Chains A and B, each alone.
Chain A
């Protein structure tokens, strides 16, 4: 019994205090016919030494490759302090800060986080996190429809991550919300401003950078949506916002809701999670927001303190009329992100964004110099771009993998119209030698057929 402190003497005394003859007797309210429960598929217990050995072996099996995949999850340097502080027991093993006076650490941190995210995105307010970028986008769609009180349609460009679109579909389909797909321009890889009549819609989603890494004409799209009575949901990569115009500044009025995945800000790739979804918005929409929100207030002595607020939106009070069913969020990853943003600061985050952009451009130049490789789209990109190969992508990726390189994300399944298309990414973590190595190996892979 690995984590149970009881001695036999304890058990005897406790049963006597209860007045029960045995521990088994404590289960006497469970109908006898149901009291089976023997576990047959759970192996024998392991000591820490044994599980340590097993997990070390498994982690080594998954050993490190030189990674050029992005597509929604990005490899960045994470300062050592980030997870060392984050996994302090006082953050790691605390519950949601419902007892504010005993949770000022977590609460103040979230207030600081909200401040950073609101500023980064150019919005007025932020919540304390949602599950991930995909589910945050789904919540933004629901929120926009709620706020519009009329249209049940949301315009969704095909340049939004196919996985995010899949998450949104799963989460909104039962509420009869229609997702209207907007096609992209084959030359620029961006979403043209619609010219046809799109009818009534609650919101337009604008991804910046989009799934292809390309930069959308956010000003024109924002103004168009507002002119047609819809709100704007910006879907962004937070790292890019150190460099790119904040959604709050898009067009004449700015975006209304901003969401994205916070993973680039201090969360490791880690097989896909835990990451977190961020959401910020304009003040007027704050009561439509899902999830927890922290506010600053004062205590009985007038001293500054922090507490969860606007809880009447949430499921534990509002139940079937809540803005969302979300309860547990991604608090610990937000803790890591807040420390990450504090360590990087405005200058550091900008340097990370700029280095990622420059590395991707340098990689593109080297790869596109190889015969049989060209860039799929004209126009500007952030830190990802699409390559078009003269042959199927899968065998090429397999050849690269054999050399310890993860060469990118094959777009064939989701965008068959693009032919042999490969999405690549080079963040600040890649050295000139890494880029060269990729170019050399790709060249070899293509020459070897």
Chain B
């Protein structure tokens, strides 16, 4: 299972990467895409929207399931990846390359509060019983 050590994670299966400019990039994890199966649709939040931590802000859809994506931390949407909307299968091919949107954090310290790779790994294993 692929859980890169340099990313942060949420219990709802988003990954978060802090960029040099202070923004964060968000996507769904390899594990999440594996559960959902072949991705057929992605809807990103509109740029400019302000999100609260945990707010539903995007949707990923496979043939058999649909799942909401939640804002990992509070912030403003500064970019949305049109490429994954056009080719949702990119998430199946490489979930960490196929980012969904970028946030400008309301408080950049919030990222530190997210799960690290080890904690996320433990969470995934516990969910699998």
Q: Which of B9-17, B61-69, B89-97 contacts A (4 or more CB under 8 A)?
A: B61-69
Interface residue B120 (Cβ < 8 Å from any Cβ of A): no
Q: B61 to chain A: which residues have CB within 8 Å?
A: 312
Task: Give the shortest distance, in Å, between B79 (CB) and chain A (any CB).
Answer: 20
- B42-79 near A? 1/0 per residue, CB < 8 Å: 01000000000000000001111110100000000000
Report the minimal beta-carbon distance from A82 to chain B, rounded to whole angstroms.
34
Number of A-B contacts (CB under 8 A): 19
B43 nearest CB neighbor, chain A only: A287
A102, CB-defined interface residue at 8 Å: no
Which single residue of chain B is at the shortest CB-CB distance from A314?
Answer: B66
Count residues of chain B with CB under 8 A from any CB of chain A.
Answer: 10
- Nearest Cβ distance between residue B97 and chain A, in whole angstroms? 24
Residues of chain A from 289 to 330 with CB closer than 8 A to chain B in the complex: 311-313, 317-318, 321
Contact B68 A321 (CB under 8 A): yes
Interface centre among B62, B63, B65 (most CB of A within 10 A): B63
Q: How far is the CB of A179 from chain B (nearest CB, A)?
A: 28
Nearest B residue to A313 via CB reads B66
Q: A287-B41, A312-B41 are in contact. Are A317 and B64 (CB under 8 A)?
A: yes
Q: For A321, what are the chain B residues with a Cβ–Cβ distance below 8 Å? A: 66, 68
Would you give 19 A-B contacts (Cβ < 8 Å), ordered by A? A287-B41, A287-B43, A311-B63, A311-B64, A312-B40, A312-B41, A312-B61, A312-B62, A312-B63, A312-B64, A312-B65, A312-B66, A313-B66, A317-B64, A317-B65, A317-B66, A318-B66, A321-B66, A321-B68
Chain B nearest CB, measured from A368 CB (Å): 56
Name 16 extra pairs, CB < 8 A, besides A312-B61, A317-B66.
A287-B41, A287-B43, A311-B63, A311-B64, A312-B40, A312-B62, A312-B63, A312-B64, A312-B65, A312-B66, A313-B66, A317-B64, A317-B65, A318-B66, A321-B66, A321-B68
CA distance A318 to B67 in the complex (A): 8
CB nearest to A322 among chain B residues: B66
Instruction: Name the residue of chain B whose CB is nearest to the CB of A309.
Output: B63
